[in-house]
């Protein structure tokens, strides 16, 4: 999703009866307010979340929303689906129809999904360069060995995309269970990484994305990101 930024004069001329050339005078007369401050230049930027008031009338008031959901099995990571419930169906929020998913989970994968209406934010957190760790608990059909740890750290070649996966950290918890941390999210990445060893993933659960965890959030429930989590992600 692209976030759009406009110059103030262009935004006003497209959203009011005033023309581009009227805006300078409106500014001089202190008739335009951006996020509570009188506008000072025709070149000021209006982003998707700037609160714009002209002559006391609000022209734009779109608030950024950041939600964390504990996705149950069988719920699809999409905003519309004809067959299954979607993540939007199980979220209660007045702006939920503006939201998109920042990192999908497969139908049968459970756990942490982030949703937002802030395209710049979701793009940033999805970039491998941001190095935001996605942590998964994995249950396998065959026993794990220490070889997995070094192979995952080295990276696995994915022919379809012609890439080698970024270094991933695997902690073996028991013969059939492990915790895997990735900084990227290629299609079916976890299943394909274990597929390298012909080891089928029987259950997959995302427990954390960077500083955000599922602690205290029951399956099927969602909550807003806290200010602390938001600024911790911003620091990546």
Q: At which residue do the structure tokens 């506008």 appear?
A: 39
Q: Using the rule CB under 6 A, is 219 a contact of ligand URA?
A: no
Of 50 and 70, the one with the shorter C-beta distance to ligand URA is 70
Spatial separation of the C-alpha atoms in residues 206 and 223, rounded to whole Å: 16
Residue 231 CA: distances (Å) to CA of 9, 35, 209, 234: 31, 20, 14, 5
From 61, 89, 106, 198, the catalytic residue: 106
The site that binds ligand URA (CB under 6 A) totals a number of residues, namely 8
Among the residue ranges 93-101, 104-112, 117-125, 228-236, the one whose residues contact ligand URA (CB under 6 A):
104-112
CB of 10 to ligand URA, least distance (A): 41
CB of 183 to ligand URA, least distance (A): 12
Spatial separation of the C-alpha atoms in residues 130 and 121, rounded to whole Å: 11
- The answer to whether 63 touches 54, Cβ cutoff 8 Å, is no
Instruction: Tell me the H-state helices in 29-137.
Output: 119-126
Reference 67, options 178, 193, 212; nearest CA is 212
Q: For the window 165-204, what string marks contact with ligand URA as x by the rule CB under 6 A?
A: -----------------------xxxx------------x
129: CB partners within 8 A, 6+ apart: none
Among the residue ranges 103-111, 151-159, 167-175, 215-223, the one whose residues contact ligand URA (CB under 6 A):
103-111
106 labelled catalytic: yes
Binding test (CB under 6 A) with ligand URA, winner from 7, 42, 62, 106: 106
The residues binding ligand URA (CB under 6 A) are 105-106, 109, 188-191, 204
The catalytic residues are 106
């Amino acid at each position: 999703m692209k976030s759009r930024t406009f110059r103030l004069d262009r935004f006003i001329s497209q959203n009011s009866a005033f023309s581009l050339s009227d805006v300078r005078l409106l500014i001089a007369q202190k008739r335009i307010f951006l996020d509570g401050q009188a506008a000072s230049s025709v070149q000021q930027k209006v982003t998707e979340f700037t609160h714009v008031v002209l002559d006391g009338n609000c022209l734009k008031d779109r608030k950024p929303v950041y939600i964390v959901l504990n996705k149950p099995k069988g719920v699809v990571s999409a905003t519309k689906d004809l067959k299954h419930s979607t993540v939007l169906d199980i979220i209660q929020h007045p702006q939920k129809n503006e939201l998109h998913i920042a990192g999908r989970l497969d139908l049968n994968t459970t756990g942490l999904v982030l949703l937002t209406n802030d395209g710049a934010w979701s793009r940033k957190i999805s970039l491998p360069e941001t190095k935001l760790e996605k942590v998964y608990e994995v249950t396998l059909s065959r026993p794990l060995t220490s070889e997995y740890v070094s192979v995952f750290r080295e990276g696995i070649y994915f022919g379809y995309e012609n890439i080698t996966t970024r270094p991933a950290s695997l902690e073996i918890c028991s013969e059939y269970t492990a915790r895997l941390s990735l900084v990227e999210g290629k299609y079916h990445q976890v299943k394909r990484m274990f597929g390298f060893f012909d080891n089928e993933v029987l259950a997959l659960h995302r427990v954390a994305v960077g500083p955000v965890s599922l602690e205290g959030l029951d399956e099927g429930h969602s909550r807003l990101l806290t200010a602390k989590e938001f600024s911790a992600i911003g620091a990546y």
